[in-house]
Amino acid sequence: MDVLSTEIIWQAIGFIALFFVFLAFKETDDRKLIIYLAIGSWIWGIHFSIIWLFAAAGISFFDIFKNLIWLKYKKNNYWVWFFIGSYILIGIFTYFHTGVLSSFLPTIASILWAIAVFWFSGIPLRLIMMSTLFVWFVYNFIGGSYAGMISDFTLIWASLYGIYKLKYTVK
């Protein structure tokens, strides 16, 4: 298998993750949104590991745990601070092992994301999640994750769609 074929396979894994995250962002049920995100996080973790984006891989795998904890302990301050501290440690760890300053971008996005899923719901939840996509886009651009960059743009649109559905169709 040549390098180009391998690259296509690695990026394809990212597009599979995108599918699950897209399902999440168009969801009006917060519980289903988080379950789809947990599945997507697992697949993103594989994608990022393969393309050597270790900060994103570590955070993606850790996000599975965060998303499942959220299902049981929403609005729990202990868990929010636990995840914020854990993301900071992941960012520091990957920075010291890679020397790549951009390792802190997924850390920043993940801290905001944790705050969003534990303290917010409905439209505010989706607005905060959507704002983190801009940070992820920069990281994905720097790291060469084409699936990640396309995911970020797609999810902004899916978020807008989910917000529209919540505002105008869910009573």
Burial class (CB in 10 A: 0-12, 13-18, 19+), 6: exposed
- What 8-state DSSP symbol labels residue 116? H
Helix (H, G, I), strand (E, B) or coil at 165: helix
Asked whether the predicted pLDDT for residue 163 surpasses 70, the reply is: yes
Assess contact for 21 and 155: CB atoms under 8 A.
Answer: yes
The structure's pTM equals 0.82
pLDDT tens profile 113-159: 889 888 888 889 889 988 999 899 999 999 999 989 998 988 888 78
Residues 6+ apart with CB under 8 A from 81: none
The residues, ordered by sequence, that sit 6+ positions from 17 with a Cβ below 8 Å of its Cβ are 40, 41, 43, 44, 46, 47, 147, 151
Q: Whose CA is closest to 159, among 15, 41, 37?
A: 37
Taking residues 82-88, report their average pLDDT. 95
Band the pLDDT of 161: cuts 50, 70, 90. confident
> What confidence score (pLDDT) does residue 1 get?
65
Enter the DSSP assignment of 156. Answer: H
pLDDT at 33 > cutoff 90: no
